[in-house]
Amino acid sequence: MEAKEYKYEPVAQTQVDGEPAPAEDTSNPVEHEQFSTDLFGCFEDHETLCIGLLAPCVLHAQNKERLEGQGHFLPACCAFAWLYGFSHIVLRGGCNVASLLSFQNRRNLRQAYNLQPRSALYDCCAHFWFMSCALCQEARELKIRGATPERPALYPGLHSAVTVVAPAQATMDLEQPANGIPAPQFADPEKPWKK
């Protein structure tokens, strides 16, 4: 049995749906920014470096909270710690499965700040092989750009200041009847058995 070779040639858009293909707008190309610091610039921020080396689950959770807002710290920290522990105790460090969780922060960071797009594989490999460096780079980027849990990078208006005004305190006078309704009769506190 002989394999057949097929050659595919691009078909013009007009042949597909009968309408002319939309012209590509090359006058204003989208310019992507770069990370402010290098992947291996860990020593630029000593506090972040220490947290990244000694407690990567905490740094991952801080990054997650700065990206997505308050309420993400504890779940992110616990999930990362569990996966990190699993990969280092059960798998004996042979496979860093925590990188499958943490690389998504890098993807979200690229989206939030229009950073140069890379493949998901590139970001996953950065976390797999250089976990602490990648976490530290993301934390530095979030610090430099001013992201906080109160003003997260992905949803900057999510936790904006909202003024809530409480209604005036309502009081009830039980002694005076309201609109002809008799006041409730309470039992004598000294003789609760009597009606």
At 94 the pLDDT is 61
HEC string of the chain? CCCCCCCCCCCCHHHHHCCCCCCCCCCCCCCCECCCCCCCCHHHCHHHHHHHHHCHHHHHHHHHHHHHCCCCHHHHHHHHHHHHHHHHHHCCCCCCCHHHHHHHHHHHHHHHHCECCCCHHHHHHHHHHCHHHHHHHHHHHHHHCCCCCCCCCCCCCCCCCCCCCCCCCCCCCCCCCECCECCCCCCCCCCCCCC
Name the residue ranges covered by the structural domains of the chain. Answer: 38-144
Please state, for a pLDDT cut of 90, what percent of the chain lies above it: 20
pTM for this one?
0.63
- The CA distance from 106 to 16, in Å, is 38
Residue 185's pLDDT band, with cuts at 50, 70 and 90, is: low
CB-based contact 182:176 (threshold 8 Å): no
Q: Each residue of 81-113: pLDDT tens digit?
A: 998 888 877 777 667 788 888 888 889 898 888
Give the residue with greater pLDDT, 3 vs 179. Answer: 179
The residue among 157 and 101 whose pLDDT is bigger is 101
